[in-house]
Copies of this chain bind each other. A is one copy, B any other.
Amino acid sequence: MSVNTFGRVLRFTTWGESHGPALGAVVDGCPPGLEVSEGAIQPFLDARRPGTSRFTTQRREPDQVKILSGTFEGKSTGTPISLMIENTDQRSKDYSDVAKAYRPGHADYTYDAKYGLRDYRGGGRSSARETAARVAAGAIARLVIPEVSILAYVTEIGGDAIDREAFSAEEIGKNAFFCPDAWAAKRWEGLVDEARKDGSSLGAVVECVATGVPAGWGAPIYGKLDADLAAAMMGINAVKAVEIGDGFGAARLRGEQNADPMKPGESGSVEFDANHAGGIAGGISTGQPVVCRVAFKPTSSILIPQPTVTRDGDATEIATKGRHDPCVGIRGTPVVEAMMALVLADQKLLHRAQCG
């Protein structure tokens, strides 16, 4: 409900700007007794961390998380867990360009239009650095849903898609792109390098699959699992589209093609012969893998000058100087996983509240 807070029963509130002293998240409603430690959070932050390859921004932030509250002797106490990440690489830089003129594709103009002022240093609150706080919160959410495995990966960069036949989950961690197809990863090296050298940027598509979600999570009508996922994913910086299951593809199927036929499973359970629905029907999980796909636009920060206006309303041009991600979707992948975890954990607890 609160605009910097996400969730109903398991909720997190984030704060912080790109160039402030720190950023953080307060996670509220966490069940007690979970093994919450910095060590359980840090690996996820490391996966999102900038500067790990030439395909991401060269900003170097250790992104070390500190737990300031909510745990005792290594366990969650049920009280708010305050997580803080200090900003350490706020390079002294000349921001006079950005202070004066609006970068197209960025939130510069809209923040000014809304608030009448803005922290222009590194994008302020609208910087994708905020997503570090989501990733930290997401690590806690994972502890709430140990029955669930979440895996996100890039399926497309700059319009070049993976070969589904070549999918290998093990491959994902072996390249700089969270790519499950070794050959695609090779191709993307060239694509991204080229875009980077051109001072341009590329978009990407990220897919996320959660397995182990039991049937019954999700809450009709305005707390549907798919609606929550849509909000969670669309709210990630640079995301412009979200699909559940077959998504737009479903709109091109006939009813009998799109049906997920059911059959008796082992020991009274139900099995499905297909998963066009992406594991959700009527806003509630079916027990199949929950599948969503999100489109990241190309990074708006590019070295190629763009026409724009100054704060005073004069025509000018602006180009991003210095460090940027040539394809923001890559580092968006751990963020997608985090948001999936946060939605599922919240819905698990909400389900427990109503249905015991």
Contacts and interface: CB of A to CB of B under 8 A. Distances in A.
A314 interface: yes
Contacts of A350: 3, 9, 353
B23 A69 contact: yes
Interface in A49-106: 66, 68-70, 72-73, 75, 77-82, 102, 104-106
A239 to B, nearest CB: 8
Interface string A325-344: 00001000000000000000
Nearest to A298: B255
Contact of A253 (B2, B203, B230): B203
For the complex of A and B, 3 pairs with smallest distance between CB atoms: A107-B282, A3-B223, A203-B251
Contact of A273 (B13, B14, B217, B307): B307
- Stoichiometry, copies per complex: 4
Given A31-B356, A283-B107, A226 B234 contact: yes
A123 B250 CA distance: 21
Contacts of A20: 68-69
Contacts of A264: 309, 313-315
B262 A307 contact: yes
Contact of A110 (B117, B156, B244, B284): B284
A321 B72 CA distance: 22
Given A104-B260, A107-B282, A240-B250, 20 more contacts: A2-B2, A3-B29, A17-B70, A21-B68, A22-B82, A72-B119, A102-B262, A110-B284, A111-B284, A113-B215, A113-B286, A114-B351, A158-B254, A202-B254, A226-B234, A230-B231, A230-B235, A240-B243, A256-B302, A268-B313
Contacts of A32: 114-117, 354-355
A278 interface: yes
A24 to B, nearest CB: 7
Interface string A258-278: 111111100011100100111
A115 B286 contact: no
A252 B155 CA distance: 12
B205 A251 contact: yes
B14 A110 contact: no
Contact of A241 (B33, B110, B241): B241
Contacts of A314: 264
Interface stretch (A39-47, A124-132, A165-173, A179-187): A124-132
A153 interface: no
B262 A104 contact: yes
Contacts of A217: 114
Contacts of A224: 234-235
Interface residues of A, number: 153
A151 interface: no
14 contacts: A2-B223, A3-B219, A9-B353, A17-B72, A72-B124, A111-B284, A114-B351, A200-B255, A203-B258, A240-B251, A251-B296, A258-B298, A262-B307, A268-B313
B116 A33 contact: yes
Interface in A223-251: 223-224, 226-235, 240-248, 250-251
A4 B352 CA distance: 17
B24 A68 contact: yes
B1 A1 contact: yes
Which of A228, A260, A296, A297 has the most C-beta atoms of chain B within 10 angstroms of its own C-beta?
A297
A211 B52 CA distance: 43
